Amino acid sequence: MEAGWTSGKRTVNGVSLHVVEAGPQDGPLVILLHGFPEFWWGWRHQISPLADAGYHVVAPDMRGYNRSERPAGIDAYRLETLTADVLGLADSFGANRFRLVGHDWGGVVAWDLAASHPGRLERLAVINGPHPDLWFQVMKRSATQAFRSSYAAFFQLPRVPEAVLSASGFRVLRAMLERSSRNGTFTPDDLDRYVEAWSHPGALTAMLNYYRALRKRRLPSEPRRIRTPTLILWGEQDVALETGVAEAALDVCDDGQLELLEDATHWVHLEDVDRVNAELIGFLGE
């Protein structure tokens, strides 16, 4: 844990979430939501710069991940429940309005919160995370995107994904991070730290239940619009999500901007750190 960072627990929406905090307690609240298969530490390059910019930064382990509580069953990981966790977290810090940044699954939750509770957000930033109302629409239009997302269908199987992903010290998950990123993005020490988080009893099943709960979700007849000022940062070399996913999301933003990083992958916040931090600090402070 770096100097100025604190670690603790918050009970929200019926679960105990582990959170890391930094920055002034009276600063504007910024919540950072990680994706699959990371945990709060995925924001290690953003926490201090945002805190130094005057924000009260809160990076939780989302439910099921790392040191946060893992409720049993797929229904505990429905999108509306994940969104309620974030609202409860903001409430626990006394913030009626706050700024939200999400990557990957954290981005999915961030989009949903902005669509369903626009009055709660000052600013929204999403990094390589699909709008949940549009992801399947884009897959229907794009065979290549459907192919890229085929892993999500594998994750629907009971027990088999857990066995495959955890075998030989999580060899497949480690390789997934390495192969989907630029060389050197994840060091051996980084990967060991992720393995430690994945190894908590029940953690891998909880992480996969985010995907499994999607099949129970009823899509709205029309994609919900985003009224909150929004910044989309997108690594164009993402092997899982085409830029068309970002462009579709931009189309439903009333006040949105899309910044494409041509040499970055899905892990843009770990690769183009200075650019991402500058973009976030500039946008969140407008």
Query: Once rounded to an integer, what is the mean pLDDT over residues 2-19?
Result: 96
Pick the catalytic residue: 18, 56, 266, 269? 266
What is the model's pTM? 0.97
pLDDT at 144: 79
CA dihedral 273, 274, 277, 282 (to 10 degrees): -160
Q: What is the CATH number of domain 6-284?
A: 3.40.50.1820
pLDDT at 216: 83
What pLDDT band is residue 141 in, cutting at 50, 70 and 90?
confident
Distance CA 239, CA 251 (A): 22
Q: Which of 85, 104, 112, 272 is catalytic?
A: 104
92-134 residue pLDDT tens = 999 999 999 999 999 999 999 999 999 999 999 999 999 999 8
- Is 103 labeled as catalytic in the residue annotation? no
Predicted confidence (pLDDT) at residue 264 exceeds the cutoff of 70: yes
Check if 56 is active-site. Answer: no
Percentage of the residues of the chain whose pLDDT score is greater than 70:
97
Task: Given the residues 211, 238, 269, 272, select the one marked as catalytic.
Answer: 211
Q: What percent of the chain has pLDDT over 90?
A: 87
pLDDT digits (tens, 9 = 90+) for 188-213: 999 999 999 999 999 999 999 999 99
Q: What confidence score (pLDDT) does residue 98 get? A: 98
Asked if residue 91 has pLDDT above 80, the reply is yes
**Interior CA angle at 71 toward 67 and 75, to 5°?**
135
Is 269 in the active site? no
Average pLDDT in the chain: 95
With 80 as the cut, is the pLDDT of residue 140 above it?
no
Q: What is the pLDDT of residue 7?
A: 97
Which pLDDT score, from 0 to 100, does residue 139 have? 65
Please report which confidence band the pLDDT of residue 152 belongs to, taking 50, 70 and 90 as the band edges: confident
